[in-house]
Amino acid sequence: MLPDKKFLIDTANMRMPFGKYKGVYLVDIPEYYIVWYKNKGFPQGKLGKMMGLVYELQLNGLEDVLRKIRTL
């Protein structure tokens, strides 16, 4: 499996590990919260990269891509 494809699948299935939205799929976290994190700075590592991807997808109205992947 290609690394980018695996990352996309992992992001679709990732739940927030802490905070106000702990346990919620990253893609289902409200946009305002992801934008707040964007301004504050995403966490280091894989979680931060995943949140950055969710930010870009929400910004462009493409977050349903991750929801569809999750249901496969």
Q: Are 15 and 54 in contact, with CB atoms under 8 Å apart?
A: no
What's 16's DSSP letter?
-
pTM for this entry: 0.91
Mean pLDDT over residues 54-64, rounded?
A: 95
Name the band, by pLDDT with cuts 50, 70 and 90, for residue 60.
very high
Domain boundaries in the chain? 3-70
Q: What is the structure's pLDDT at 1?
A: 62
Q: What is the structure's pLDDT at 72?
A: 76
Whole-angstrom distance, CA of residue 17 vs CA of residue 47: 9
Integer angstrom CA distances of residue 62 from 14, 50, 66: 17, 14, 8
Mean pLDDT over residues 3-23, rounded?
A: 94
* Region of residue 40 (left: phi > 0; alpha: psi -120 to 50; beta: else): alpha
pLDDT tens-digit readout, 18-55: 999 999 999 999 999 999 999 999 999 999 999 999 99
Facing residues of 17 across strands?
Answer: none
